[in-house]
């Protein structure tokens, strides 16, 4: 069975053009984007990998490591990076896995279990290996995208999805479908923070009441129902007002208050 959302990824030791390491050690406390492709030196894959190289500052700003995957050798990856950097105009500083035995491709369900590489293979022999995985710091799969051979990936969308995942994980919210460069997440975060801060202020005001303060509250000003001032609050028996808010009825616990 393939990996599902929230499954812990296999901790395979992989060979790359930058040496060997275990996947969990590579990720550490960071987020990670694993992206695979059918074969080195192909035009579509070169444009994809150059786009990833151009986004190096964006990955770093999000505490995210990127890792390419191919069934070609580490030596071929090293040679191919010359083309990647020439096309993208940016250094390809990320490692690329040399998955020559298909161990990683099979473990991540990118190929059938009985798949093998024939001599003189073409990209068609690894046609299903064009996948994106986003992994969280907990080493669990957060998102996966699978593309056919004839469709190159848009890494601006991968970046958008990463922003959404990170924001949702931090704020425990759902992000909008038309999220644009995090703006929708930021607006959602602002609303969450305002609601949270408002609740904290109300809790503090209620906690500041005297022991019998609940019974001392005489009225709640409501501009639409009374002639009270447009700015209302908690009116105590001594005439003082605890907290002033723009009126709008809301019931919290046993009290009807204005906010």
Cα–Cα distance measured from residue 116 to residue 105, given in angstroms and rounded to the nearest whole number: 11
- Rounded-to-integer distance, Cα 220 and Cα 233, Å: 6
* Residue tagged active-site, from 101, 138, 180, 197: 138
Residue 153 tokens, joined: 């990936």
Active site residue 138: yes
Give Cβ neighbours of residue 255 (< 8 Å, ≥ 6 apart): 206, 214, 217, 220
Phi, psi of 172 (to 5 degrees): 55, 55
Q: Where are the alpha helices (DSSP H) in the chain?
A: 23-27, 43-54, 56-61, 74-88, 103-107, 155-171, 183-207, 213-216
Residue of 45, 99, 163, 185 marked active site: 45
- pLDDT tens, position by position, 92-147: 999 999 999 889 988 998 876 677 777 777 766 665 568 999 999 999 999 999 98
pLDDT above 80: residue 53: yes
Active site residue 45: yes
Q: Is the dihedral of CA 34, 38, 41, 47 positive or negative?
A: negative
Instruction: Give me the domains of the chain, ranges plus CATH numbers.
Output: 13-154 (3.40.30.10), 210-259 (no CATH)
Which is more confident, 39 or 217? Answer: 39
**Does 3 have pLDDT greater than 50?**
yes
pTM over 0.85: no
């Amino acid at each position: 069975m393939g990996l599902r959302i929230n499954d812990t990824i296999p901790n395979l030791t992989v060979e790359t053009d930058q040496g060997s390491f275990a996947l969990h050690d590579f990720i550490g406390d960071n987020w990670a984007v694993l992206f695979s492709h059918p074969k080195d030196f192909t035009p579509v894959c070169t444009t994809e990998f150059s786009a990833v190289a151009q986004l190096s500052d964006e990955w770093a700003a999000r505490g995210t490591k990127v890792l390419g995957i191919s069934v070609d050798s580490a030596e071929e990856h090293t040679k191919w990076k010359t083309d990647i950097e020439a096309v993208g105009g940016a250094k390809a500083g990320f490692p690329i896995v040399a998955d020559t035995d298909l161990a990683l491709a099979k473990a991540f369900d990118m190929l059938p279990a009985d798949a093998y590489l024939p001599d003189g293979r073409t990209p068609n022999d690894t046609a299903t290996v064009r996948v994106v995985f986003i992994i969280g710091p907990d080493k669990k799969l957060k998102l996966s995208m699978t593309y056919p051979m004839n469709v190159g990936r848009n890494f601006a969308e991968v970046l958008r999805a990463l922003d959404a995942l990170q924001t949702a994980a931090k704020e425990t919210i759902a992000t909008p479908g038309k999220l644009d460069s995090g703006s929708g997440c930021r607006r959602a975060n602002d609303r969450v923070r305002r609601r949270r801060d408002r609740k904290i202020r109300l809790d503090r005001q209620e906690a500041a009441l005297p022991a019998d303060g609940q019974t001392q509250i005489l009225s709640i000003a409501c501009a639409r129902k009374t002639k009270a001032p447009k700015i209302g609050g908690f009116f105590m028996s001594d005439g003082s007002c605890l907290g002033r808010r723009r009126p709008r009825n809301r019931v919290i616990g046993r009290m009807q208050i204005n906010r």
